[in-house]
A and B are shown apart, each in its own frame.
Chain A
């Protein structure tokens, strides 16, 4: 049985891992070459990965939602069903894998390759490694493969081109044979001494003088493995660490700690060093390990290289302000002011704020309110404001886009099922945000009643703790003082805050005619960690839609 490994591809130079998001096939399914086998997502791109060969999916080594390092074997395809595709039947095995090329250090262990060594290989496979183009060069980028798998190649014929940060170079084939395997695609950057291709040399084709024109020995055009399901699919980091090359010097102690703590070389490379010439010191790696253990660096299987989590720089106290004595008034902050200050700074440090601005034609709402406000006030005992109209539109839009009603907890997104809308209320000495619980269960009048109740209790300092907690989304009203729009700060741990500007009559173009309409700007700040511009923008357009399509026939 010939098994072809499917490896996690490197989707870009700086990408070290990928997350399997979906398997399109299950074990036992037939798959054609280049048919989509799985989907992966990395921190740069999401991608569909085609099958490298036709066959039957023999093994899935990682389930969905697993994050694995690039070049890790993630699945195996049995190509036996397509055995007729191969040029001819495999010759019996005469010898194990031949010697590796001379330039590869004999001492470097290659556990992965050894696992893949097979008694089923027909012809000997010679490994082609990324050469070291200079003393200080640690890696090279494959810029072009001159041959494709299955091509014949002569000794010293150009096999590929590489580029390093010093030179570009054509790499000749170390032997004559047939290119059996290309392990890295073009534009991949690999460490020096990494095996990048394998050339099959059959008996009789090892040297050109032996049997130059005879037919090459049959070649298995894949990385062939013995089906040993128990074999561990990835090399433990502990073994890996010494075989990977590095451009930085690590002290024996640092390497020892890395090994003990299961930190891979690529992970080690990501640690910034405070020692001489940026060397990673004992304290640097211990701090990293400490952060990792305390969860400040995301924990993951030991095989995965990791980048240290971003920690915001500590807030440095501003330089003391000097002021002329007697020419200033000093006001001590009260509790609310201090709380607002702390909350706002923390929010800005927590969420990368992104903003969008939109406008809505609320002429219908203005007319509707004009028509009903007297009766409403008479009946309810308080004035009908515009706020409930906006809240109603926001709540409807949230139902369409539940992600707007979320929180971020570490690497988890918590989508809240209750829609509790906070409404910012300006007070004499500050601001408070009472919360309308289950706003989606209230109609326009219900919302109006809640707002009136909460706002008046806020102004009379009669709010209960429960009234100001549990919010999932906040609406603020920078328009209440006549301003067109504002740029609000997210009310943590929510992920978005929507600001309603002042409703102003403006000349607006409608169907190539200029009309006077009541317009309002809707601004929104949202957390770019989980809400991208597309979602934020669609959500806002939905709010605009509900405002502009307000049913003026409805009773109040």
Chain B
């Protein structure tokens, strides 16, 4: 196999037809930094250490200290600096090491970043990478799925890819977008999920969902890690119960691909809205409301929701398992819907 000089010099030691989710993010960042010199990275441990999850391993050496900036342990400073840089024409990609700690930058994000265009009529082309999600025994501080807080705040675009293909296409699209984009990347998917990613350049339009599996009887509307549970559950429903389940991967949470959601629900008439975030106040509530408002006459069953319990994420592995949604829970919810 003939390798380009570029590839040989970097952590992609070989070209893979199939890469992991984390590699897809790295690759997307790398390509955008190569393409556009205004793109730079800022965050904790991303330079010398290569990132807590090694997303930016090798970036410092290749792109230099001015474009891969290690910061102090202060998320509010990271977001403030990134926002200021974006306003003056740079395209920062800020990394919040664990999305749980985005809380310390909450005021910067919702009061400043989100409203810049409204207040100043200026673009704010920045990306905030937010490694999120549970299932890694991280306890209450390293397991959150805080997307709903920002979903509620006008001014952001929000994406949450589930596959390497979507992860790469969306990180590139997010960097090129002139709005602040919150990029939720699920930690458990980093090395668990592999997928084919083309070597040629592609982007995924923000605001477009994807049917990950077609079906006729029930729609699962989901995103992020739960896409995979939904796909496994759909297969169980098919093989053991003869029920055809459609899996709609939202990919983008803001704006929502309502057209795709509605067309799926209108086809199946039964719907499960699922996310790893806990139920109460989750994005699923908004999706359910939209469905009932726009698809009421197509519903053949009450809209069902599935998510984590309304508690902090437990440290204890058995408790964490009990707390989180999983394939079995999705199967159970789908069987209930099928029976209705």
A positions within 8 Å CB-CB of B: 251-256, 275-276, 279, 281-283
Contacts and interface: CB of A to CB of B under 8 A. Distances in A.
A275 B339 contact: yes
Interface string B124-153: 000000000000000000000000000000
Interface in B66-80: none
Nearest to B217: A283
Contacts of A256: 297-298
Contact of A253 (B217, B298, B339): B298
A251 B299 contact: yes
Which 10 pairs across A and B sit closest by C-beta, in order of nearness? A256-B297, A253-B300, A282-B300, A251-B300, A253-B269, A282-B269, A252-B297, A276-B340, A252-B296, A252-B299
B301 interface: yes
A116 B340 CA distance: 42
Interface string B250-291: 000000000000000000011000000000000000000000
A408 B120 CA distance: 82
Contacts of A275: 339-340
Size bracket of the B interface: 10 to 19
A253 B299 contact: yes
B265 to A, nearest CB: 10
Contacts of A254: 300
A253 B340 contact: no
B340 A279 contact: yes
B300 to A, nearest CB: 4
Nearest to A256: B297
A279 B297 CA distance: 16
Contacts of B217: 283
Contacts, number: 29
B270 to A, nearest CB: 8
A254 B339 CA distance: 15
A92 B270 CA distance: 58
16 contacts: A251-B269, A251-B299, A251-B300, A251-B301, A252-B296, A252-B298, A253-B297, A253-B299, A255-B297, A276-B339, A279-B340, A281-B340, A282-B269, A282-B270, A282-B300, A283-B217
Most-contacted residue by chain A among B217, B270, B297, B339 (CB, 10 A):
B297
Contacts of B301: 251
Contacts of B339: 275-276
A279 B270 CA distance: 14
Given A276-B339, A283-B217, 8 more contacts: A252-B297, A252-B299, A252-B300, A253-B298, A253-B300, A256-B297, A276-B340, A282-B300
A252 B300 CA distance: 6
A282 B268 CA distance: 9
A255 B298 CA distance: 9
A279 B217 CA distance: 16
A285 to B, nearest CB: 9
Most-contacted residue by chain B among A251, A255, A279 (CB, 10 A):
A251
A282 B219 CA distance: 14
B337 to A, nearest CB: 10
A279 B339 CA distance: 10
Contacts of B298: 252-253, 256
B188 to A, nearest CB: 35
A424 to B, nearest CB: 46
Contacts of A251: 269, 299-301
Contacts of B340: 275-276, 279, 281
A484 B339 CA distance: 56
Contacts of A276: 339-340
Nearest to A253: B300
Contacts of B269: 251, 253, 282
A509 B3 CA distance: 113
Most-contacted residue by chain A among B270, B297, B300, B340 (CB, 10 A):
B300
Contacts of A281: 300, 340
B293 to A, nearest CB: 12
Contacts of B296: 252
A251 B300 CA distance: 5
B272 to A, nearest CB: 16
A256 B297 CA distance: 6
A517 to B, nearest CB: 67
Nearest to A280: B300
A268 to B, nearest CB: 14
Contacts of A282: 269-270, 300
Contacts of A279: 340
A276 B302 CA distance: 12
Nearest to B301: A251
Nearest to B292: A252
B318 to A, nearest CB: 32
A462 to B, nearest CB: 53
Contacts of B297: 252-253, 255-256
A367 to B, nearest CB: 71
Contacts of A255: 297
Nearest to A255: B297
Contacts of A252: 296-300
Nearest to B296: A252
Most-contacted residue by chain B among A252, A253, A275, A279 (CB, 10 A):
A253
A326 B174 CA distance: 78
B133 to A, nearest CB: 34
A275 B269 CA distance: 13
B157 to A, nearest CB: 33
A253 B300 CA distance: 5
B8 to A, nearest CB: 57
Nearest to A254: B300
